[in-house]
């Protein structure tokens, strides 16, 4: 259950998609003065080093954010799609304009975009990552604005909904190590929508050859439609090389996950268009020769 560590995957193609969506969504929600509560249900350690053992061992960032940055070096940021530009500028802000050695996980991205009136709730049950997250959060000096919760978010999220201000974003991105995670996500989202129908929910999922994964993506669309909530679903597939190996240039074969998706309930009305503009550019620089593509659908 605790074998997954996001440090091995930080900055990969799935993070590029997930964090583009997160940055775009938080920037939009931050335009309104009312306080916002952000909940990360599977927070990880919060901040990662791309030049240390775990990230270097997998090398997945070399097929993700590092490859993207190298390909776009020298490009005028003003010419990039807004969602992609904002994402790359966010990562760059943690590296003082130099090489990308630090990669911000979702908690650090959320914290960077918070206002004084906002709150950040971080769930993490992994023993090692939980300790690292607590230590890292203490280093932020954010006081009570950021809270680490060493609890199972599937069981405990309900206690936070709806937030006092009735404005919130819930990011849900489990590792899906357990097959039961897929049904747990759907059940958790269903309960959360009943408690907080106007909240924004962003759910990450892997696109892999597993029936539960395919079923979950469809269930999220059905659930959103049944509750008469607008939604956006986006997927990015980097594909593979002709011999079937994943696209990367790291130290050892990468994860077999070649694609992932995001389902956003009550998204910014601008999000679908932003992703349709950004994902073709991302794919141009990250794709392999076989099986690459992107998709953005919306409803509601």
- Burial grade of 74 (CB within 10 A; 0-12, 13-18, 19 or more): exposed
51 annotated to bind ligand: no
82 annotated to bind ligand: no
212 annotated to bind ligand: no
152 annotated to bind ligand: yes
Least Cα distance to 157 among 257, 37, 68, 248 occurs for: 37
42 annotated to bind ligand: yes
95 annotated to bind ligand: no
Q: How many whole angstroms from its chain centre is CA 168?
A: 16
Neighbours of 90 (CB within 10 A): 20
214 annotated to bind ligand: no
Q: Residues 33, 173, 181, 191: which is the catalytic one?
A: 173
Q: In what order do the strands lie in the sheet with 259-265?
A: 146-149, 119-123, 37-40, 168-172, 200-206, 259-265, 231-237, 293-299
173 is catalytic: yes
Binding-site annotation: residue ranges = 19, 42, 106, 124, 152-153, 173
Q: Which residues are catalytic?
A: 173
Q: Would you list which residues are annotated within the binding site for S-adenosyl-L-methionine?
A: 19, 42, 106, 124, 152-153, 173
């Amino acid at each position: 259950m605790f074998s997954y560590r996001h440090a091995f995957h930080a900055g990969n193609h799935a993070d590029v998609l997930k964090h583009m969506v997160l940055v775009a969504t938080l920037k939009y929600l931050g335009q309104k003065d009312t306080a916002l509560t952000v909940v990360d249900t599977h927070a990880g350690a919060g901040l990662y080093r791309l030049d240390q053992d775990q990230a270097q061992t997998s090398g997945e960032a070399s097929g993700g954010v590092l490859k993207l940055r190298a390909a776009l070096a020298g490009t005028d940021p003003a010419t990039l799609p807004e969602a992609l530009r904002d994402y790359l500028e966010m990562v760059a802000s943690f590296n003082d304009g130099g090489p990308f050695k630090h990669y911000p996980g979702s908690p650090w991205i959320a914290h960077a975009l918070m206002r004084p009136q906002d709150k950040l709730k971080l769930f993490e049950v992994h023993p090692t990552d939980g300790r690292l997250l607590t230590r890292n959060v203490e280093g932020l000096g954010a006081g009570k604005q950021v809270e680490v919760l060493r609890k199972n978010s599937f069981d405990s999220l309900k206690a936070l909904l709806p937030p006092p201000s009735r404005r919130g974003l819930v990011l849900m991105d489990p590792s899906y190590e357990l097959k039961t995670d897929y049904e747990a996500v759907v059940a958790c989202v269903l309960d959360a929508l009943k408690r907080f129908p106007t909240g924004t929910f962003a759910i990450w999922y892997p696109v892999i050859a597993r029936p539960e994964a395919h079923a979950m993506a469809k269930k999220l669309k059905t659930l959103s439609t049944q509750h008469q909530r607008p939604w956006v679903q986006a997927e990015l597939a980097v594909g593979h090389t002709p011999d079937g190996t994943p696209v990367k240039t790291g130290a050892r074969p990468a994860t077999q996950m070649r694609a992932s998706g995001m389902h956003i309930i009550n998204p910014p009305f601008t999000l679908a268009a932003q992703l349709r503009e950004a994902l073709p550019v991302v794919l141009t620089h990250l794709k392999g020769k076989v099986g690459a593509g992107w998709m953005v659908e919306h409803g509601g």
